[in-house]
Amino acid sequence: MPATADATRQAQWLAGRVLTHALLGEMPAQPAELVVQNDATGRPWLDGASPHQLTLSLSHSGLWVAAVLAHGARAGVDVEMIRDKAQRLASKFLSPAEWEQAQAVMQQNSELATAHYTRLWSAKETLYKLAAQRGIIFKTQLLLSSFAPAESGEIPATLILDGAETRHCICYSQPSAGYVLTYSHESSS
């Protein structure tokens, strides 16, 4: 944790570690001593576990912290406060097809727009974390298929890396008023 982080960021950072250790305590067979570390990009990983054994993804926003542990597979999680920022920046991270679909949702019910754009941003963040690679272009490499927005559901997604396309399912929900949670993990088989 950077020494310059404010009290809120420090609390979120600590809560992420506490949540991770609580999840590890729920595992039937715990690996040896594991410590949450961050790589040079800030991505969390478990020191003491091989990347092929156990993968960790963390997220925090406002009062919420989320974590996903995956055995032998990549994983991604994101939690976001619902706010208009995602809607204002949507043209920078949505593909033309995604933009068109989001506009259609907004025309159907403008009250859902802020939550929907936040959900789209969160889904792309989850896919980015699943990719575990820097330099990804959200508009062209992290693609979301159309879906019927609801309080919870699934978003079909495509990740394009090194010319290869992989399909993923991003689960989403609103765990409490004012927040969106998205997550995805690969099968370990």
pLDDT tens-digit readout, 59-108: 999 999 999 998 888 899 999 999 999 999 999 999 999 999 999 988 88
Q: Class of the 79-185 domain? A: alpha beta
pLDDT of residue 187: 67
> Which helix or strand (DSSP H or E) is residue 185 part of?
strand 179-185
Q: Would the pLDDT of 188 be above 60? A: no
Do 54 and 48 meet the contact criterion of CB atoms below 8 Å apart? no
3-state secondary structure of 63: coil
Report CA torsion sign: 15, 20, 25, 31: negative
CB atoms within 10 A of CB 34: 18
Res. 155 pLDDT band, cuts 50 70 90: very high
Q: Would the pLDDT of 31 be above 70? A: no
Mean pLDDT of 43-61: 84
| More confident position, 153 or 70 | 153
Do 24 and 69 meet the contact criterion of CB atoms below 8 Å apart? yes
Res. 116 pLDDT band, cuts 50 70 90: very high
Q: What is the distance between the alpha carbons of residues 32 and 30, in angstroms, rounded to a whole number?
A: 6
Q: Where are the domains of the chain?
A: 7-77, 79-185
Mean pLDDT is lowest, of 127-131, 147-151, 172-176, 179-183, for 147-151
Q: What is the distance between the alpha carbons of residues 132 and 38, in angstroms, rounded to a whole number?
A: 13
